[in-house]
Amino acid sequence: MNTTVSPFDPVTIGPLTLRNRFIKSGANEAMCMDGFPTKALVKHHSDLARGGIGMTTVAYMAVAPEARTLPNQIWMRSKILPDLQVLTDAVHAEGAAISAQITHGGSFVTGMKVKGRTVSASSGFNPAGMLKGNFLQRAMNEDDMKRVIEEFVCAAELARKAGFDAVELHMGHGYLLNQFISPLSNRREDEYGGSAENRVRFPARVLAAVKAAVGDTTAVLAKINVADGTRRGAKVEDGIVTAQALQAAGADMLVLSGGRNVESTWFMFGSRMNREEIARVLKAQGDWLTAFMMKGAAAREPDVTFREMYFLEYSRKIRAAVQLPLAYLGGIKSLANAEQAVAEGFECVVMARALLHEPALVNKFRSGELTQSGCDNCNGCVAYIYHPAGTRCVYRPANELALNRVVASAHE
Ligand SMILES: Cc1cc2nc3c(=O)[nH]c(=O)nc-3n(C[C@H](O)[C@H](O)[C@H](O)COP(=O)(O)O)c2cc1C
Protein backbone atom coordinates (compact mmCIF):
# COMPACT_ATOMS: atom_id res chain seq x y z
CA MET A 1 0.00 0.00 0.00
CA ASN A 2 1.26 3.46 -0.87
CA THR A 3 0.40 5.50 2.21
CA THR A 4 2.14 8.69 1.12
CA VAL A 5 -0.27 9.67 -1.68
CA SER A 6 -3.35 11.77 -0.87
CA PRO A 7 -6.39 12.08 -3.15
CA PHE A 8 -5.85 15.84 -2.90
CA ASP A 9 -2.40 15.56 -4.54
CA PRO A 10 -2.02 16.55 -8.20
CA VAL A 11 -1.61 13.74 -10.71
CA THR A 12 -0.31 13.51 -14.26
CA ILE A 13 -2.29 11.47 -16.79
CA GLY A 14 -0.42 11.42 -20.14
CA PRO A 15 -0.19 15.05 -21.28
CA LEU A 16 -2.58 16.26 -18.55
CA THR A 17 -1.95 17.29 -14.94
CA LEU A 18 -4.97 17.47 -12.61
CA ARG A 19 -5.07 19.64 -9.49
CA ASN A 20 -6.27 16.64 -7.47
CA ARG A 21 -7.35 13.05 -8.08
CA PHE A 22 -11.12 13.39 -7.76
CA ILE A 23 -12.99 12.98 -11.06
CA LYS A 24 -16.72 13.39 -11.69
CA SER A 25 -17.84 10.28 -13.52
CA GLY A 26 -19.62 10.57 -16.86
CA ALA A 27 -23.30 10.42 -15.83
CA ASN A 28 -25.86 11.25 -18.49
CA GLU A 29 -26.89 14.77 -17.54
CA ALA A 30 -29.80 14.80 -20.01
CA MET A 31 -29.27 18.53 -20.35
CA CYS A 32 -29.16 18.74 -24.12
CA MET A 33 -31.69 19.66 -26.78
CA ASP A 34 -31.70 18.36 -30.35
CA GLY A 35 -28.07 17.31 -29.93
CA PHE A 36 -26.94 20.70 -28.57
CA PRO A 37 -25.59 21.39 -25.06
CA THR A 38 -27.77 23.70 -22.96
CA LYS A 39 -27.01 26.42 -20.41
CA ALA A 40 -28.15 23.96 -17.73
CA LEU A 41 -25.31 21.64 -18.75
CA VAL A 42 -22.79 24.47 -18.37
CA LYS A 43 -24.15 25.30 -14.91
CA HIS A 44 -24.09 21.62 -13.89
CA HIS A 45 -20.40 21.22 -14.74
CA SER A 46 -19.23 24.62 -13.51
CA ASP A 47 -20.97 23.93 -10.15
CA LEU A 48 -19.08 20.62 -9.94
CA ALA A 49 -15.79 22.31 -10.86
CA ARG A 50 -16.37 25.02 -8.21
CA GLY A 51 -16.98 22.21 -5.74
CA GLY A 52 -13.33 21.19 -5.90
CA ILE A 53 -12.99 18.18 -8.23
CA GLY A 54 -9.87 17.79 -10.39
CA MET A 55 -11.78 16.93 -13.55
CA THR A 56 -15.39 16.64 -14.66
CA THR A 57 -16.65 14.37 -17.46
CA VAL A 58 -19.34 15.41 -19.90
CA ALA A 59 -21.27 12.20 -20.45
CA TYR A 60 -22.47 10.32 -23.37
CA MET A 61 -21.65 12.38 -26.45
CA ALA A 62 -22.33 10.36 -29.58
CA VAL A 63 -19.73 10.25 -32.34
CA ALA A 64 -22.39 10.34 -35.09
CA PRO A 65 -26.16 10.88 -35.35
CA GLU A 66 -26.82 7.13 -35.70
CA ALA A 67 -24.51 6.53 -32.71
CA ARG A 68 -27.11 8.05 -30.37
CA THR A 69 -29.16 6.05 -27.90
CA LEU A 70 -31.55 8.90 -27.15
CA PRO A 71 -32.85 11.55 -29.55
CA ASN A 72 -31.70 14.66 -27.65
CA GLN A 73 -28.25 13.28 -26.92
CA ILE A 74 -25.33 15.50 -27.96
CA TRP A 75 -23.66 14.31 -31.12
CA MET A 76 -20.28 15.65 -32.06
CA ARG A 77 -20.25 17.99 -35.07
CA SER A 78 -18.61 21.32 -35.88
CA LYS A 79 -21.91 23.16 -35.48
CA ILE A 80 -21.73 22.72 -31.69
CA LEU A 81 -18.11 23.88 -31.35
CA PRO A 82 -19.04 27.35 -29.96
CA ASP A 83 -21.37 25.74 -27.39
CA LEU A 84 -18.70 23.28 -26.29
CA GLN A 85 -16.14 26.08 -26.00
CA VAL A 86 -18.41 27.94 -23.56
CA LEU A 87 -18.73 24.72 -21.54
CA THR A 88 -14.99 24.03 -21.35
CA ASP A 89 -14.20 27.71 -20.59
CA ALA A 90 -16.69 27.70 -17.69
CA VAL A 91 -15.06 24.62 -16.13
CA HIS A 92 -11.52 25.92 -16.67
CA ALA A 93 -12.51 29.21 -15.03
CA GLU A 94 -13.18 27.20 -11.86
CA GLY A 95 -9.73 25.58 -12.01
CA ALA A 96 -10.82 22.06 -13.04
CA ALA A 97 -10.13 20.05 -16.18
CA ILE A 98 -12.87 18.62 -18.40
CA SER A 99 -13.15 15.33 -20.24
CA ALA A 100 -15.48 14.37 -23.10
CA GLN A 101 -17.00 10.91 -22.87
CA ILE A 102 -17.48 9.88 -26.48
CA THR A 103 -19.59 6.90 -27.37
CA HIS A 104 -21.37 4.91 -30.05
CA GLY A 105 -24.53 3.09 -28.98
CA GLY A 106 -24.32 0.41 -31.66
CA SER A 107 -27.48 -1.62 -31.22
CA PHE A 108 -28.24 -0.08 -27.81
CA VAL A 109 -30.73 2.45 -29.15
CA THR A 110 -33.60 2.77 -26.73
CA GLY A 111 -35.05 6.19 -27.49
CA MET A 112 -35.34 6.48 -31.26
CA LYS A 113 -35.83 4.52 -34.48
CA VAL A 114 -32.64 4.12 -36.49
CA LYS A 115 -32.94 3.82 -40.28
CA GLY A 116 -32.15 0.24 -41.31
CA ARG A 117 -30.46 -2.17 -38.93
CA THR A 118 -28.41 -0.92 -36.02
CA VAL A 119 -24.76 -1.99 -36.12
CA SER A 120 -23.12 -4.23 -33.55
CA ALA A 121 -20.46 -6.93 -33.20
CA SER A 122 -22.88 -9.63 -34.34
CA SER A 123 -26.12 -9.79 -36.26
CA GLY A 124 -29.47 -11.05 -35.05
CA PHE A 125 -32.33 -10.07 -32.78
CA ASN A 126 -31.79 -6.88 -30.74
CA PRO A 127 -33.66 -6.97 -27.40
CA ALA A 128 -32.49 -3.45 -26.44
CA GLY A 129 -34.11 -2.00 -29.56
CA MET A 130 -37.59 -3.45 -29.07
CA LEU A 131 -39.23 -0.33 -27.68
CA LYS A 132 -38.57 1.79 -30.75
CA GLY A 133 -38.71 -0.89 -33.42
CA ASN A 134 -34.95 -1.49 -33.82
CA PHE A 135 -35.58 -5.23 -33.82
CA LEU A 136 -32.53 -6.37 -35.79
CA GLN A 137 -28.83 -5.66 -35.66
CA ARG A 138 -26.13 -6.11 -38.29
CA ALA A 139 -22.57 -7.37 -37.71
CA MET A 140 -20.01 -4.73 -38.62
CA ASN A 141 -17.65 -5.43 -41.52
CA GLU A 142 -14.23 -3.88 -42.16
CA ASP A 143 -15.74 -0.85 -43.96
CA ASP A 144 -18.03 -0.22 -40.97
CA MET A 145 -15.05 -0.49 -38.64
CA LYS A 146 -13.04 2.03 -40.65
CA ARG A 147 -16.01 4.41 -40.63
CA VAL A 148 -16.56 4.11 -36.88
CA ILE A 149 -12.84 4.59 -36.17
CA GLU A 150 -12.95 7.76 -38.27
CA GLU A 151 -16.03 8.96 -36.36
CA PHE A 152 -14.28 8.47 -33.00
CA VAL A 153 -11.19 10.29 -34.33
CA CYS A 154 -13.28 13.23 -35.63
CA ALA A 155 -15.17 13.45 -32.33
CA ALA A 156 -11.90 13.47 -30.38
CA GLU A 157 -10.45 16.15 -32.66
CA LEU A 158 -13.56 18.28 -32.17
CA ALA A 159 -13.31 17.79 -28.39
CA ARG A 160 -9.69 18.93 -28.47
CA LYS A 161 -10.58 21.98 -30.57
CA ALA A 162 -13.36 22.82 -28.09
CA GLY A 163 -10.88 22.85 -25.21
CA PHE A 164 -11.48 19.44 -23.60
CA ASP A 165 -8.42 18.21 -21.72
CA ALA A 166 -9.27 14.53 -22.11
CA VAL A 167 -11.48 12.18 -24.07
CA GLU A 168 -12.97 9.05 -22.52
CA LEU A 169 -13.90 6.29 -24.96
CA HIS A 170 -16.89 4.41 -23.60
CA MET A 171 -16.08 0.70 -23.78
CA GLY A 172 -18.33 -0.48 -20.97
CA HIS A 173 -22.01 -0.91 -20.06
CA GLY A 174 -23.19 -2.44 -23.34
CA TYR A 175 -22.45 0.28 -25.91
CA LEU A 176 -20.94 -0.56 -29.32
CA LEU A 177 -17.30 -1.03 -28.24
CA ASN A 178 -18.50 -3.13 -25.30
CA GLN A 179 -20.72 -5.12 -27.68
CA PHE A 180 -17.39 -6.34 -29.14
CA ILE A 181 -15.67 -6.93 -25.77
CA SER A 182 -18.53 -8.82 -24.10
CA PRO A 183 -19.35 -12.45 -24.95
CA LEU A 184 -23.00 -11.52 -24.25
CA SER A 185 -23.09 -9.67 -27.59
CA ASN A 186 -20.07 -10.91 -29.56
CA ARG A 187 -20.66 -14.20 -31.38
CA ARG A 188 -18.19 -13.53 -34.22
CA GLU A 189 -15.99 -16.25 -35.60
CA ASP A 190 -13.36 -14.00 -37.21
CA GLU A 191 -10.34 -12.31 -35.59
CA TYR A 192 -12.75 -9.97 -33.70
CA GLY A 193 -14.58 -12.74 -31.86
CA GLY A 194 -13.93 -15.77 -29.68
CA SER A 195 -11.06 -15.16 -27.25
CA ALA A 196 -10.90 -12.08 -25.01
CA GLU A 197 -7.83 -10.97 -27.02
CA ASN A 198 -9.89 -11.07 -30.23
CA ARG A 199 -12.94 -9.36 -28.72
CA VAL A 200 -10.94 -6.30 -27.65
CA ARG A 201 -9.16 -6.02 -31.01
CA PHE A 202 -11.58 -3.52 -32.58
CA PRO A 203 -11.92 -1.28 -29.46
CA ALA A 204 -8.09 -1.25 -29.22
CA ARG A 205 -7.89 -0.15 -32.88
CA VAL A 206 -10.27 2.71 -32.09
CA LEU A 207 -8.19 3.77 -29.10
CA ALA A 208 -4.89 3.60 -31.00
CA ALA A 209 -6.34 5.78 -33.79
CA VAL A 210 -7.68 8.38 -31.31
CA LYS A 211 -4.36 8.38 -29.47
CA ALA A 212 -2.45 8.94 -32.72
CA ALA A 213 -4.77 11.82 -33.64
CA VAL A 214 -4.99 13.80 -30.37
CA GLY A 215 -2.81 12.03 -27.79
CA ASP A 216 0.04 14.55 -27.89
CA THR A 217 -2.13 17.20 -26.19
CA THR A 218 -5.21 15.36 -24.94
CA ALA A 219 -5.35 12.53 -22.42
CA VAL A 220 -6.99 9.44 -23.93
CA LEU A 221 -9.00 7.44 -21.39
CA ALA A 222 -11.23 4.41 -21.77
CA LYS A 223 -14.05 3.32 -19.47
CA ILE A 224 -14.15 -0.47 -19.31
CA ASN A 225 -15.98 -3.21 -17.46
CA VAL A 226 -14.01 -5.12 -14.85
CA ALA A 227 -16.74 -7.74 -15.40
CA ASP A 228 -20.31 -7.86 -16.74
CA GLY A 229 -21.75 -9.37 -13.58
CA THR A 230 -23.70 -12.15 -15.30
CA ARG A 231 -23.08 -15.85 -15.72
CA ARG A 232 -22.42 -15.73 -19.46
CA GLY A 233 -20.85 -12.25 -19.49
CA ALA A 234 -17.25 -11.08 -19.33
CA LYS A 235 -15.37 -12.15 -16.21
CA VAL A 236 -12.53 -10.33 -14.49
CA GLU A 237 -10.08 -12.48 -16.50
CA ASP A 238 -11.56 -10.89 -19.65
CA GLY A 239 -11.30 -7.47 -17.96
CA ILE A 240 -7.58 -8.07 -17.43
CA VAL A 241 -7.04 -8.95 -21.10
CA THR A 242 -9.03 -5.85 -22.11
CA ALA A 243 -6.93 -3.62 -19.84
CA GLN A 244 -3.68 -5.09 -21.13
CA ALA A 245 -4.71 -4.61 -24.76
CA LEU A 246 -5.72 -0.99 -24.17
CA GLN A 247 -2.49 -0.35 -22.32
CA ALA A 248 -0.61 -1.68 -25.37
CA ALA A 249 -2.77 0.52 -27.63
CA GLY A 250 -1.60 3.62 -25.73
CA ALA A 251 -4.37 4.47 -23.22
CA ASP A 252 -3.35 7.13 -20.71
CA MET A 253 -5.73 5.84 -18.04
CA LEU A 254 -8.57 3.34 -17.66
CA VAL A 255 -11.72 4.05 -15.66
CA LEU A 256 -12.85 0.75 -14.14
CA SER A 257 -16.58 0.13 -14.17
CA GLY A 258 -18.81 -2.90 -14.65
CA GLY A 259 -22.25 -4.17 -15.61
CA ARG A 260 -24.47 -3.83 -18.66
CA ASN A 261 -27.42 -1.51 -19.23
CA VAL A 262 -29.79 -4.32 -20.20
CA GLU A 263 -28.51 -7.39 -18.40
CA SER A 264 -27.04 -6.15 -15.10
CA THR A 265 -27.66 -2.57 -14.00
CA TRP A 266 -27.63 -3.69 -10.35
CA PHE A 267 -23.99 -4.76 -10.86
CA MET A 268 -23.13 -1.37 -12.39
CA PHE A 269 -24.62 0.54 -9.45
CA GLY A 270 -24.05 -1.97 -6.63
CA SER A 271 -27.72 -1.56 -5.75
CA ARG A 272 -31.13 -2.15 -7.31
CA MET A 273 -32.21 0.20 -10.06
CA ASN A 274 -34.99 2.50 -8.86
CA ARG A 275 -37.45 1.43 -11.55
CA GLU A 276 -40.42 2.63 -9.54
CA GLU A 277 -39.01 6.20 -9.63
CA ILE A 278 -38.12 5.80 -13.32
CA ALA A 279 -41.71 4.71 -14.03
CA ARG A 280 -43.05 7.76 -12.13
CA VAL A 281 -40.86 10.17 -14.11
CA LEU A 282 -41.70 8.49 -17.42
CA LYS A 283 -45.44 8.49 -16.73
CA ALA A 284 -45.26 12.20 -15.99
CA GLN A 285 -43.89 12.63 -19.55
CA GLY A 286 -46.70 10.46 -20.93
CA ASP A 287 -44.39 7.53 -21.75
CA TRP A 288 -46.60 4.78 -20.28
CA LEU A 289 -45.14 1.97 -22.38
CA THR A 290 -41.54 2.44 -21.20
CA ALA A 291 -42.80 2.98 -17.66
CA PHE A 292 -44.62 -0.37 -17.83
CA MET A 293 -41.53 -2.18 -19.20
CA MET A 294 -39.34 -0.65 -16.48
CA LYS A 295 -41.63 -1.83 -13.72
CA GLY A 296 -41.63 -5.32 -15.21
CA ALA A 297 -37.83 -5.34 -15.30
CA ALA A 298 -37.76 -4.36 -11.60
CA ALA A 299 -39.38 -7.65 -10.69
CA ARG A 300 -36.59 -9.62 -12.43
CA GLU A 301 -33.70 -7.89 -10.65
CA PRO A 302 -31.86 -9.77 -7.91
CA ASP A 303 -31.75 -8.29 -4.43
CA VAL A 304 -28.44 -6.54 -3.90
CA THR A 305 -27.06 -5.16 -0.67
CA PHE A 306 -25.01 -2.05 -1.34
CA ARG A 307 -21.36 -2.18 -0.28
CA GLU A 308 -19.01 0.81 -0.37
CA MET A 309 -16.30 0.31 -3.04
CA TYR A 310 -18.25 -2.57 -4.53
CA PHE A 311 -15.81 -3.07 -7.45
CA LEU A 312 -12.69 -3.18 -5.28
CA GLU A 313 -11.97 -6.93 -5.46
CA TYR A 314 -12.24 -6.87 -9.26
CA SER A 315 -10.31 -3.62 -9.68
CA ARG A 316 -7.44 -4.88 -7.52
CA LYS A 317 -6.99 -7.78 -9.98
CA ILE A 318 -6.77 -5.34 -12.89
CA ARG A 319 -4.35 -3.15 -10.85
CA ALA A 320 -2.06 -6.13 -10.35
CA ALA A 321 -2.01 -6.95 -14.08
CA VAL A 322 -1.20 -3.59 -15.73
CA GLN A 323 1.14 -0.65 -15.18
CA LEU A 324 -0.82 2.24 -16.71
CA PRO A 325 -2.77 4.70 -14.49
CA LEU A 326 -6.14 3.40 -13.32
CA ALA A 327 -9.13 5.25 -11.89
CA TYR A 328 -11.14 3.49 -9.19
CA LEU A 329 -14.93 3.85 -9.58
CA GLY A 330 -17.95 2.30 -7.86
CA GLY A 331 -19.39 3.17 -4.48
CA ILE A 332 -16.91 5.79 -3.27
CA LYS A 333 -18.88 7.28 -0.39
CA SER A 334 -16.30 8.75 2.00
CA LEU A 335 -12.95 10.43 2.24
CA ALA A 336 -11.64 7.21 3.78
CA ASN A 337 -12.79 5.30 0.64
CA ALA A 338 -10.92 7.77 -1.58
CA GLU A 339 -7.80 7.56 0.57
CA GLN A 340 -7.92 3.77 0.45
CA ALA A 341 -8.25 3.77 -3.36
CA VAL A 342 -5.14 5.92 -3.90
CA ALA A 343 -3.24 4.03 -1.17
CA GLU A 344 -3.97 0.81 -3.09
CA GLY A 345 -2.38 2.27 -6.22
CA PHE A 346 -5.33 3.74 -8.15
CA GLU A 347 -4.16 7.09 -9.50
CA CYS A 348 -7.64 8.67 -9.48
CA VAL A 349 -10.99 8.31 -7.73
CA VAL A 350 -14.15 8.64 -9.82
CA MET A 351 -17.61 9.39 -8.41
CA ALA A 352 -21.07 9.90 -9.86
CA ARG A 353 -23.86 9.68 -7.27
CA ALA A 354 -21.94 11.15 -4.34
CA LEU A 355 -21.22 14.26 -6.43
CA LEU A 356 -24.79 14.52 -7.68
CA HIS A 357 -25.86 14.50 -4.03
CA GLU A 358 -23.25 17.12 -3.09
CA PRO A 359 -21.37 18.88 -5.91
CA ALA A 360 -19.06 20.56 -3.34
CA LEU A 361 -18.14 17.24 -1.71
CA VAL A 362 -14.42 17.52 -2.47
CA ASN A 363 -14.15 21.01 -0.94
CA LYS A 364 -16.11 19.73 2.06
CA PHE A 365 -13.80 16.72 2.40
CA ARG A 366 -10.81 19.06 2.23
CA SER A 367 -12.14 21.49 4.84
CA GLY A 368 -13.23 18.70 7.16
CA GLU A 369 -16.90 19.78 6.98
CA LEU A 370 -17.77 16.30 5.69
CA THR A 371 -16.03 12.93 5.77
CA GLN A 372 -18.99 10.92 4.44
CA SER A 373 -21.39 11.42 1.53
CA GLY A 374 -25.10 11.64 2.38
CA CYS A 375 -26.03 9.69 -0.78
CA ASP A 376 -28.08 6.61 0.14
CA ASN A 377 -27.77 4.86 -3.28
CA CYS A 378 -31.51 5.13 -3.93
CA ASN A 379 -30.72 5.66 -7.65
CA GLY A 380 -33.47 8.26 -7.93
CA CYS A 381 -30.94 10.39 -9.88
CA VAL A 382 -31.00 7.76 -12.63
CA ALA A 383 -34.74 8.27 -13.07
CA TYR A 384 -34.16 11.96 -13.75
CA ILE A 385 -32.22 11.26 -16.93
CA TYR A 386 -35.76 10.85 -18.35
CA HIS A 387 -36.88 14.27 -17.06
CA PRO A 388 -36.76 17.42 -19.21
CA ALA A 389 -34.73 19.20 -16.53
CA GLY A 390 -32.10 16.45 -16.50
CA THR A 391 -30.56 14.44 -13.73
CA ARG A 392 -30.49 15.52 -10.10
CA CYS A 393 -30.34 14.02 -6.67
CA VAL A 394 -33.89 13.60 -5.39
CA TYR A 395 -32.80 15.20 -2.09
CA ARG A 396 -31.77 18.42 -3.86
CA PRO A 397 -33.94 21.22 -5.24
CA ALA A 398 -35.36 20.70 -8.76
CA ASN A 399 -33.24 21.81 -11.73
CA GLU A 400 -34.42 24.51 -14.08
CA LEU A 401 -35.67 23.03 -17.35
CA ALA A 402 -32.82 22.32 -19.76
CA LEU A 403 -34.30 24.37 -22.59
CA ASN A 404 -31.83 27.08 -23.47
CA ARG A 405 -29.05 26.33 -25.84
CA VAL A 406 -25.62 27.63 -24.90
CA VAL A 407 -24.96 29.83 -27.94
CA ALA A 408 -28.36 30.49 -29.49
CA SER A 409 -27.08 32.79 -32.25
CA ALA A 410 -24.63 30.20 -33.59
CA HIS A 411 -27.35 27.97 -34.95
CA GLU A 412 -30.66 29.74 -35.02
C1 LIG B 1 -27.77 9.57 -13.30
C2 LIG B 1 -26.68 8.68 -13.81
C3 LIG B 1 -26.42 8.64 -15.16
C4 LIG B 1 -25.37 7.85 -15.64
N5 LIG B 1 -25.04 7.90 -16.96
C6 LIG B 1 -23.86 7.37 -17.37
C7 LIG B 1 -23.32 7.69 -18.65
O8 LIG B 1 -23.90 8.45 -19.43
N9 LIG B 1 -22.15 7.14 -18.98
C10 LIG B 1 -21.45 6.31 -18.12
O11 LIG B 1 -20.36 5.84 -18.47
N12 LIG B 1 -21.94 5.99 -16.91
C13 LIG B 1 -23.11 6.53 -16.51
N14 LIG B 1 -23.54 6.32 -15.23
C15 LIG B 1 -22.78 5.42 -14.35
C16 LIG B 1 -21.75 6.21 -13.52
O17 LIG B 1 -20.82 6.87 -14.32
C18 LIG B 1 -20.99 5.30 -12.56
O19 LIG B 1 -20.33 4.34 -13.34
C20 LIG B 1 -21.92 4.64 -11.53
O21 LIG B 1 -22.88 5.56 -11.05
C22 LIG B 1 -21.13 4.10 -10.33
O23 LIG B 1 -20.42 5.13 -9.70
P24 LIG B 1 -20.92 5.77 -8.29
O25 LIG B 1 -21.01 4.64 -7.31
O26 LIG B 1 -19.83 6.76 -7.94
O27 LIG B 1 -22.23 6.41 -8.52
C28 LIG B 1 -24.61 7.07 -14.74
C29 LIG B 1 -24.90 7.10 -13.37
C30 LIG B 1 -25.92 7.90 -12.90
C31 LIG B 1 -26.16 7.94 -11.42
Per-residue pLDDT tens digits for 324-358: 999 999 999 999 999 999 999 999 999 999 999 99
Does ligand 1 come within 6 angstroms of the Cβ of 254? no
Ligand 1 mean position, distance from CA 410 (Å): 31
Are 196 and 237 a contacting pair, CB within 8 Å? yes
Does ligand 1 come within 6 angstroms of the Cβ of 332? yes
Ligand 1 mean position, distance from CA 25 (Å): 6
Minimum CA distance residue for ligand 1 atom 3 = 27
Does ligand 1 come within 6 angstroms of the Cβ of 337? no
**The CATH fold of domain 11-271+306-410:** TIM Barrel (3.20.20)
Does ligand 1 come within 6 angstroms of the Cβ of 60? yes
| Whole-number Å distance between alpha carbons of 102 and 188 | 25
Are 107 and 179 a contacting pair, CB within 8 Å? yes
Ligand 1 mean position, distance from CA 351 (Å): 8
Are 249 and 211 a contacting pair, CB within 8 Å? yes
Per-residue pLDDT tens digits for 196-217: 999 999 999 999 999 999 999 9
Minimum CA distance residue for ligand 1 atom 29 = 27
Minimum CA distance residue for ligand 1 atom 8 = 28
Does ligand 1 come within 6 angstroms of the Cβ of 226? no
Q: Please give the backbone phi and psi of residue 2, each rounded to the nearest 5 degrees, phi first.
A: -90, 105
For helices 312-321 and 236-249, the axis angle rounded to 10 degrees is: 40
Query: Could you tell which of 24, 25, 357, 379 is best to mutate to test the pocket of ligand 1, judged by most ligand atoms within 8 Å of the CB?
Result: 25
Per-residue pLDDT tens digits for 119-135: 999 999 998 888 889 99
User: What amino acid positions are annotated as catalytic residues?
Assistant: 175
Domain boundaries in the chain? 11-271+306-410
pLDDT at 3: 59
Task: Count, in order, helices (H) and strands (E) of the chain.
Answer: 15, 15
Output the pTM of the full model.
0.97
Per-residue pLDDT tens digits for 233-287: 999 999 999 999 999 999 999 999 999 999 999 999 999 988 888 989 989 888 8
Per-residue pLDDT tens digits for 383-405: 999 999 999 999 999 998 888 99
Ligand 1 mean position, distance from CA 214 (Å): 25
Question: Which residue, 153, 175, 178, is CA-closest to 246?
Answer: 178
Per-residue pLDDT tens digits for 51-68: 999 999 999 999 999 999
pLDDT at 412: 45
Does ligand 1 come within 6 angstroms of the Cβ of 387? no
pLDDT at 331: 98
| Whole-number Å distance between alpha carbons of 31 and 410 | 18
